[in-house]
Amino acid sequence: MDLNFSEGEERLRAEVRAFVRARLPAGVRAKTAAGRRLTRADYLEWHRALHAQGWAAPHWPQQFGGLGWSAVEQHIFEEELAAADAPRPIPFGTRMVGPVIMAFGSPQQQGYFLPRILSGEHWWCQGYSEPGAGSDLASLKTRAVRSGTDYIVNGQKTWTTLAHYANWIFCLVRTDAQAKAQSGISFLLIDMSSPGITVRPIVTLDGAHEINEVWFQDVRVPADNLVGTENQGWTYAKFLLAHERTGVAGVAWAKRELARLKDIAARERCAGRPLIEDPLFAAKLAQLEIDLMALEITNLRMLDADRAKRAPGPEASLLKIKGSVIQQAISELLLEAVGPYGKAFAGGERPGDGLAGVVPEDAIGLAAKYCNERKISIYSGSNEIQRNIIARMILGF
């Protein structure tokens, strides 16, 4: 196993670093560095800059508009984005539905949807979870009934991230109510402007409107928007989740937040000295950094397996579990480092004039961040589900 980067990979790192330095909009960089929320326009401005460079989805095959980058090259790309305070790319188009359309979509679907994902014309959201179907996704109840050349869709999706920004949604729907749970599910692509779709906000503990309920009432969807074969959607859903989990460990982004934590701890005072010199806090910080280094090595082992074209084993589930635990631990220590200054001001925005200059800029919104990141251990397959996968693959249970 070779965990060293090649000369070509290091040249790519330098190229990405120079590009981000030159093309990342200053306003977007400042918001990301301060942990502030980005608008739809912010995300699109950065996406279009990447697209102009050919890097909106460089891991895609060349035949579909990508560069065919390896997992190692994609890892380097993400490391440089994170280190430069660039936004984490929205995954729903490029990492989720795009690969599904490439693998299982018709030539017409590939020709229509994939270029629009790359350009940013289509912003996608994910229609998987329902009020009674989260980790037990196979129990979903949203129905799609064939009517001539259309499907008629009725039901509800929930926890739909950024649905209020999206103009398309990929949905798992039940097309055969009599089949076994996984066997009667299909994968539909639905235009969010279709009559009968209602998006309702869910405001979370951190005061943010990031997730939503999406309701479907007699929504007509062209049958041409069915991906693959009817009732085979569970196969495509598992394929999508495998792609979603490849980057869920978030090593690059965790390294950025760890650096932020160290910087804060070096400035904050505890008993007249920097917090980072406090033995108890320093021990927590050291353990966290050790865990992150171990996670990175495991991630690099997976990248080495990709180089050798070996199928990943249970490492993907290990990365998901440990990555989410580490990201949450960093948010906890960040909040501990700033103490009462971490209070969420108006959902992570600037405090009022009376507190300006008193509250450290780094502290603003850290309570909101802490609350928001409780979800990490649930999405992309809850950590409990991932432990079951590991038990089956390693222990044979």
pLDDT in tens, 54-92: 999 999 999 999 999 988 898 899 999 999 999 988 999
The answer to which of 126-140, 146-160, 184-198 has the lowest mean pLDDT is 126-140
Query: Which residues of the chain does CATH 2.40.110.10 include?
Result: 124-232
Catalytic residue among 244, 257, 296, 373: 244
DSSP 6: P
CATH T-level topology, domain 124-232: Butyryl-CoA Dehydrogenase, subunit A; domain 2 (2.40.110)
What digits encode the pLDDT tens for the residues 303-340?
A: 666 655 565 567 778 888 899 999 999 999 998 888 87
What digits encode the pLDDT tens for the residues 160-205?
A: 999 999 999 999 999 999 988 788 999 999 999 999 999 999 998 7
Q: What is the pLDDT of residue 358?
A: 43
290: burial class by Cβ within 10 Å (0-12, 13-18, 19+)? exposed
Q: Output the six-digit token pair for 385.
A: 């589900």
Quickly count: other Cβ atoms within 10 Å of residue 146's Cβ: 13
| 2, HSE (Cβ side, Cα atoms, 13 Å) | 6
Residue with the bigger pLDDT between 385 and 192: it is 192
Q: What is the pLDDT of residue 81?
A: 96
Domain 247-395 classification at class level: mainly alpha
Is a pLDDT exceeding 80 seen at residue 373? yes
Q: How many residues does the chain have?
A: 397
Q: How far apart are CA 296 and CA 373, in angstroms?
A: 20
Angle of helix 251-267 relative to helix 279-307, nearest 10 degrees? 160
- Whether 348 contacts 35, CB under 8 Å: yes
Q: What is the pLDDT of residue 158?
A: 96
User: What CA–CA distances, in Å, run from 381 to 137, 209, 375?
Assistant: 10, 22, 11
Is a pLDDT exceeding 90 seen at residue 301? no
Is a pLDDT exceeding 50 seen at residue 348? no
Is a pLDDT exceeding 60 seen at residue 30? yes
Query: Which residues of the chain does CATH 1.10.540.10 include?
Result: 7-89
Alpha helices in the chain (DSSP H): 7-23, 26-33, 40-53, 71-83, 91, 98-104, 107-119, 233-245, 251-267, 279-307, 315-338, 366-372, 383-390
Is a pLDDT exceeding 70 seen at residue 112? yes
Q: What's the pLDDT band for 34 if we cut at 50, 70, 90?
A: confident
Is a pLDDT exceeding 80 seen at residue 270? no
What digits encode the pLDDT tens for the residues 280-298?
A: 999 999 999 999 999 988 8
Examine the residue annotation and report whether 373 is marked as an active-site residue of this protein. Answer: no
Is a pLDDT exceeding 70 seen at residue 349? no
The answer to which of 11-15, 87-91, 360-364 has the lowest mean pLDDT is 360-364
User: What CA–CA distances, in Å, run from 181 to 133, 187, 233?
Assistant: 12, 14, 11
Cα-based angle 30, 36, 41 (whole degrees, multiple of 5): 75
Is a pLDDT exceeding 90 seen at residue 51? yes
117: burial class by Cβ within 10 Å (0-12, 13-18, 19+)? buried
Q: Output the six-digit token pair for 111.
A: 């020709």
- Whether 76 contacts 13, CB under 8 Å: yes
Domain 7-89 classification at class level: mainly alpha
- Whether 246 contacts 196, CB under 8 Å: no
Q: What is the pLDDT of residue 257?
A: 92
Q: What's the pLDDT band for 346 if we cut at 50, 70, 90?
A: very low
